[in-house]
Amino acid sequence: MSSDYKKQYADFIEAFEKLFRLESNESVEEMCNIITNVLFSKYKLSIKQLTKIIIMAIQYNYASGENYIRILKHIGSNIKRISELIIPREDSIE
């Protein structure tokens, strides 16, 4: 039964996996297309919801922070809060 759900929401899961595993040398355009086609159009996430998710992704994958900023700008997010983020220092991560 759980595999039925996995198949049904495979594109949603894949979009989130790609978003949270974004590499610093990856194409931002491809990720923006996935966001537009899957997360916005199909699953109806709002800009506000996606902004919160991307801010969380930045905190766990800050090496790709510049790409996340580009994505936020592309989706039309109000990104004033990014400067308020508290990103853990490398030596504080266990």
Consecutive H or E run containing 53: helix 47-60
Q: Flag whether the pTM goes above 0.75.
A: yes
What pLDDT does residue 53 have? 94
Domain-wise residue ranges, the chain: 2-92
Please, what's the b/e burial string for 7-33 (b: 16 or more CB within 10 A of its CB; e: otherwise)?
eeeeeeeebbebbeebeeeeebeebee
* pLDDT tens-digit series, residues 43-91: 999 999 999 999 899 988 988 989 998 999 898 876 665 566 555 565 6
Are 77 and 51 in contact by the 8 Å Cβ rule? The answer is yes
Residue 1 has pLDDT above 70, yes or no: no
- The mean pLDDT of 31-48, rounded to a whole number, is 95
Who contacts 69 (Cβ-Cβ below 8 Å, separation ≥6)? 79, 82
